[in-house]
């Protein structure tokens, strides 16, 4: 988590952010009945509605939307990556999560990203086979469909196969993302062939077809998840990781993945993280994502204040400080739960939150980085004697990419789903013959440790993804989630505060300028925010903004209204705007 300006070198540039707004073809807010969906892609939202209209449930529709996003938004997500799905099952009245985060191949060790004892260059590792984790997306979709869906891969992949075969019109954002990644993409022959024209980004307006990705989906449709994890597609993935398909005169480090790594990959069904806030039950993603725990801890800290009664800047001051404290704990304690015994019960305890809250000055921004607290006395299990030494975690680059979307159905099932290939365009390697980009998720490890997020064989790198479902009186009330690396956590947190405490309707809660404090020297803010009245009120309390303002996370949400209707909410502006649809419009 170095300053974001550094992050920009390997991905997003401000030129994307400052694009003029396209004319919106599809609405970013829709209210109605039946199922609903909000994604950043018009095609993906339509795919979800198509599946809902054919009688599929929210889980079926989520896989359909995700597969379509893999075609239309291939630089943020796809079958070459992984993710986290939070599902509310109406019939069972319970929330479950599916962790299909990438894993480090069995060849990995804590020194895999060290050279001569020092961390390797970040960008060099990104654009290589070394950064590629064993992809989890297809196994995640399989678990979702098999356990909770009602349709087959063949049915739910059909809309995405159509879009990939028929083609879709490249938009400004798409073209700019390619332009920003030209250098990375030029390294690899397959990627250049798909996304560059004479070495330059495919221009907006081009109709792009991806027959190879359609083929990959067709094989999964025909043979299920095994088509991905065993046989020719698995062989092509391993070959692409270990011998990247280089363009003439280019070089990239090779990875060390085996067919066994793929065949052995398992998704995990995990219990959600749960906390309560202002009468809502908030369910989020547990480790290996830090998203759920960190959002919950910050909410627990904020619960002790009457934010509603405060001027907005005062409430935002407390939001920033709570986030700072929660991030200090996140960095110190959280990682893959199969490798790290994190004190989660302590971190989620309301008494612990009260202790953290006492560190906040109500009128002044803290001047130093926050230290991690000691949640161990607040663990239920007091017998834990092996406690990690407090260490200042090395702060790695974390980037701004990924996609989040949300779907519900007429029966009340709800999905909140964030998935990614990490950086824009992941490792930059398109798998020959199959048209999808491989992730660079392993750069989410801390290259030089220390624990808890040091690379290890089979381990999942710590994530920040925070797909969230909130219930009130036992019924779904709203969903929220966002892309954006570690800013995902702050976007989810700030949107909840905007919505529940500052009284904004969800579209305004999402649209409001974002402030992201991640226990860094200066909070990240969006372009145009510094200098606003609100910013000045916070500056008067001592808050500082990073020098490079940048767009933070394109969020998507659903709100379940008291009259039984549902409102789907996407972005009006960020990333060119998203598409919110309902099965039956109320208007």
Active-site positions read 402
User: Which of 436, 479, 490 lies closest to 1 in space, CA to CA?
Assistant: 490
Shortest distance, position 428 Cβ to ligand GLU, whole Å: 15
Round to whole Å and give the CA distance between 546 and 532.
15
- Footprint of ligand GLU on residues 142-201 (CB under 6 A)? none
C-alpha to C-alpha distance for 492 and 144, rounded to whole angstroms = 24
Question: Smaller CB distance to ligand GLU: residue 137 or 420?
Answer: 420
Specify the residue, 162 or 494, whose C-beta has the smaller distance to ligand GLU. 494
- By the 8 A CB rule, do 405 and 46 touch? no
Q: Does 465 bind ligand GLU (CB under 6 A)?
A: yes
Using the minimum distance from each CB to ligand GLU, give the nearer residue, 35 or 452: 452
Q: Which is nearer to ligand GLU, 316 or 329 (CB)?
A: 329
Complex with ligand GLU: residue 489 or 557, whichever CB lies closer:
489
Nearest to ligand GLU of 352, 417 (CB atom): 417
Binding of ligand GLU by 427 (CB under 6 A): no
d(CA 361, CA 364): 5
Q: Are strands 556-560 and 475-481 parallel, antiparallel or unpaired?
A: antiparallel
For ligand GLU, the closer CB: 78 or 159:
78
485 to 504: interface string for ligand GLU, x by CB under 6 A? x-------------------
Does the bond joining 476 to the residue before it have cis omega, within 30 degrees of 0?
Answer: no
Binding segment (CB under 6 A) for ligand GLU, from list 155-163, 174-182, 350-358, 477-485: 477-485
Nearest to 315 by CA among 518, 464, 503, 466: 503
Q: What does the radius of gyration of the chain's CA atoms come to, in whole angstroms?
A: 22
Q: Which is nearer to ligand GLU, 16 or 51 (CB)?
A: 16
Helix 42-53 × helix 58-72 angle, to 10°: 150
Chain residues 398-417 in contact with ligand GLU, contact rule CB under 6 A: 399-402
Q: How far is CA 190 from the centre of its chain?
A: 26
- Contacts with ligand GLU by CB under 6 A: the residue count is 14
Q: Could you give the 3-state DSSP secondary structure of residue 201?
A: strand
| Residues 546, 5 contacting (CB under 8 angstroms) | yes
Count of CB atoms within 10 A of residue 357's CB? 18
List Cα–Cα distances, 107 to 102, 277, 340, 456, in angstroms.
Answer: 14, 43, 19, 9
What residues are paired with 242 via a beta bridge? none
Residue of 192, 142, 515, 138 lying closest to 322 (CA atoms)? 515
Q: Are 437 and 137 in contact (CB under 8 A)?
A: no
Residues 6+ apart with CB under 8 A from 496: 277, 282, 295, 299, 468, 470, 480
Q: Specify the residue, 50 or 441, whose C-beta has the smaller distance to ligand GLU.
A: 441
- The residue from 192, 420, 498, 567 that contacts ligand GLU (CB under 6 A) is 420
* 441/571 with CB nearer ligand GLU: 441
3-state secondary structure of 358: coil
Q: Which run of H or E residues covers position 96?
A: strand 94-100
The whole-angstrom separation of Cα 438 and Cα 178 is 15
Which segment (162-170, 197-205, 242-250, 482-490) binds ligand GLU by CB under 6 A? 482-490
Q: Where are the alpha helices (DSSP H) in 167-283?
A: 172-180, 182-186, 189-195, 211-223, 226-229, 232-242, 259-263
100 DSSP β-pair partners: 83
State the minimum distance, in angstroms, from the CB of residue 288 to ligand GLU. 9
Region near ligand GLU per CB under 6 A, out of 163-171, 185-193, 350-358, 481-489: 481-489
Whether 511 contacts 532, CB under 8 Å: no
By DSSP bridging, strand 268-270 and strand 94-100 are antiparallel
The residue among 452 and 483 lying less far from ligand GLU, judged by its C-beta, is 483
**Helix, strand or coil for residue 88?**
strand
428 scored as a contact of ligand GLU (CB under 6 A): no
Residue 483 near ligand GLU by CB under 6 A: yes
Q: Assess 514 for contact with ligand GLU (CB under 6 A).
A: no
In the stretch 371-400, what mask flags binding to ligand GLU with x, by CB under 6 A? ----------------------------xx
Site string for ligand GLU, 435-464 (x = CB under 6 A): ------x--x------------------xx
| Structure-derived torsion over alpha carbons of residues 348, 351, 355, 356, reported in degrees to the nearest 10 | 20
Q: How far is the CB of 464 from ligand GLU (least distance, A)?
A: 4
The CB density around residue 463, as the number of other CB atoms within 10 Å, is 30
Burial tier of 246 (Cβ tally within 10 Å: 0-12, 13-18, 19+): middle
364 DSSP assignment = S
549 vs 552: CA distance, rounded Å: 9
Check residue 123 for interaction with ligand GLU (CB under 6 A).
no
Interacting residue ranges for ligand GLU, rule: CB under 6 A: 399-402, 420, 422, 441, 444, 463-465, 483-485
């Amino acid at each position: 988590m170095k300053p974001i300006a550094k992050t920009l070198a390997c991905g997003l540039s401000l030129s994307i952010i400052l694009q003029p707004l396209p004319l919106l073809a599809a609405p970013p807010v829709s209210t109605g009945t039946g199922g609903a969906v909000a994604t950043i892609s018009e095609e993906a939202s339509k795919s979800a509605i198509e599946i809902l209209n054919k009688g599929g449930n929210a889980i079926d529709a989520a896989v359909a939307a995700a597969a379509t996003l893999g075609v239309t938004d291939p630089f943020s997500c796809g079958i070459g990556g992984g993710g986290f799905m939070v599902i509310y099952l109406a019939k069972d009245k319970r929330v479950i999560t599916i962790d299909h985060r990438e894993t480090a191949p069995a060849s990995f060790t804590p020194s895999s990203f060290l050279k001569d004892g020092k961390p390797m260059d970040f960008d060099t590792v990104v654009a290589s086979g070394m950064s590629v984790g064993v992809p989890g997306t297809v196994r995640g979709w399989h678990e979702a469909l098999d356990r909770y869906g009602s349709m087959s891969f063949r049915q739910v992949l059909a809309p995405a196969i159509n879009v990939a075969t028929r083609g879709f019109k490249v938009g400004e954002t798409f073209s700019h993302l390619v332009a920003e990644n030209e250098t990375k993409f030029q390294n690899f022959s397959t990627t250049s062939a798909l996304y560059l024209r004479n070495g330059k980004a495919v221009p907006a307006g081009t109709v792009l077809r991806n027959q190879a990705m359609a083929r990959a989906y067709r094989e999964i449709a025909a043979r299920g998840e095994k088509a991905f994890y065993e046989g020719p597609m698995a062989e092509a993935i391993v070959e692409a990781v270990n011998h990247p398909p280089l363009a003439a005169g280019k070089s990239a480090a090779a990875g060390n993945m085996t067919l066994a790594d793929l065949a052995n990959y398992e998704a995990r069904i995990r219990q959600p993280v749960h906390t309560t806030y202002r009468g809502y039950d908030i369910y989020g993603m547990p480790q290996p994502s830090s998203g759920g725990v960190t959002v919950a801890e910050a909410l627990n800290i904020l619960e002790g204040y009457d934010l509603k009664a405060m001027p907005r800047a005062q409430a935002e001051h407390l939001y920033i400080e709570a986030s700072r404290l929660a991030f200090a704990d996140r960095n110190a304690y959280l990682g893959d739960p199969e490798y790290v015994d994190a004190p989660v019960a302590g971190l989620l305890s309301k008494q612990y939150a009260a202790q953290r809250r006492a560190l906040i000055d109500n009128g002044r921004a803290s001047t130093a980085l926050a230290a991690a607290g000691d949640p161990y006395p607040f663990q239920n299990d007091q017998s834990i004697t092996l406690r990690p030494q407090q260490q200042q975690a090395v702060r790695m680059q974390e980037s701004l990419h990924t996609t989040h979307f949300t779907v519900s159905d007429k029966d009340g099932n709800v999905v909140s789903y964030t998935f990614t290939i990490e950086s824009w365009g992941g490792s930059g390697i398109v798998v020959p013959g199959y048209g999808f980009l491989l992730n660079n998720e392993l750069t989410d490890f801390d290259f030089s440790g220390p624990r808890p997020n040091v690379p290890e064989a089979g381990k999942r790198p710590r994530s920040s993804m925070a797909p969230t479902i909130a219930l009130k009186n036992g019924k779904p009330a709203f969903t929220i989630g966002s892309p954006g690396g570690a800013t995902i956590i702050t976007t989810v947190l700030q949107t909840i505060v905007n919505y529940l405490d500052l009284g904004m309707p969800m579209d305004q809660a999402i649209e409001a300028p974002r402030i992201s404090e991640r226990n860094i020297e200066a909070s990240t803010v969006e372009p145009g925010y510094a200098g606003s009245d609100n910013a000045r009120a916070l500056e008067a309390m001592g808050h500082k903004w990073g020098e490079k303002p940048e767009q933070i996370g394109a969020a998507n949400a659903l709100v379940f209204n008291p009259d039984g209707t549902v409102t789907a909410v996407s972005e009006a502006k960020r990333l060119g705007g998203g598409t919110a649809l309902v099965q039956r419009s109320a208007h």
